[in-house]
Amino acid sequence: MGKKTTVVDLNPKVTSTDELYGVVLAATREWKDGLMSKTMRSLSNVPDSNPKWIVLDGDLDANWIESMNSVMDDNKLLTLASNERIPLKAHMRLIFEIRNLNFATPATVSRAGILYISDTDGSQWRSYVKSWIGRMKWDETKKQDI
């Protein structure tokens, strides 16, 4: 589409749920942002409508994925413990790069579009990319350059 895409890659398994979403500190009653809350807020505050992808690259875990259900449903809001709601705007996408769906609940699976791309020989993802390029309204020279 010719727009610059911003990609932020996070591994949700390397942090606790509080470090991922944020927490109200008991001693001071102050809010401390997490990786996901800070990333979503900063991307949603960018004034342009260029594509913005948040790639969650790590296995699913019931502790962190359930908080994403409200972002993935019709509300498209990340609701934090501070009662702040951060919108996932129309030009923003969540991409879950996971190994399997062993710990995915039906609620999570029903809210996601799922692509199975094998990494054995790479033929599946190459076919997907070829098909996508073929559908683009570019001239044939540009399609062949890619």
Given a cut of 70, whether residue 38 has pLDDT beyond it is: yes
The share of the chain scoring above pLDDT 90, in percent, equals 45
**Rounded Cα distance, 80 and 85, in Å:** 6
pLDDT digits (tens, 9 = 90+) for 43-55: 999 999 999 999 9
The share of the chain scoring above pLDDT 70, in percent, equals 94
Instruction: Determine the average pLDDT of the residues in 105-130.
Output: 76
User: How much is the mean pLDDT over the chain?
Assistant: 87
Domain ranges of the chain: 6-114, 117-146
Q: Among residues 63, 78, 54, which one has the least CA distance to residue 13?
A: 63
Amino acid 119: pLDDT: 62
Structure pTM?
A: 0.76
Instruction: Determine the average pLDDT of the residues in 18-28.
Output: 93
Residue 56's beta-bridge partner residues?
Answer: 10, 96
pLDDT digits (tens, 9 = 90+) for 62-74: 778 888 888 988 8
**Superfamily for 6-114?**
P-loop containing nucleotide triphosphate hydrolases (3.40.50.300)
Query: Terminal CA-to-CA distance of the chain, rounded, Å?
Result: 14
pLDDT band at 58 (very low <50, low <70, confident <90, very high): confident
Amino acid 121: pLDDT: 67
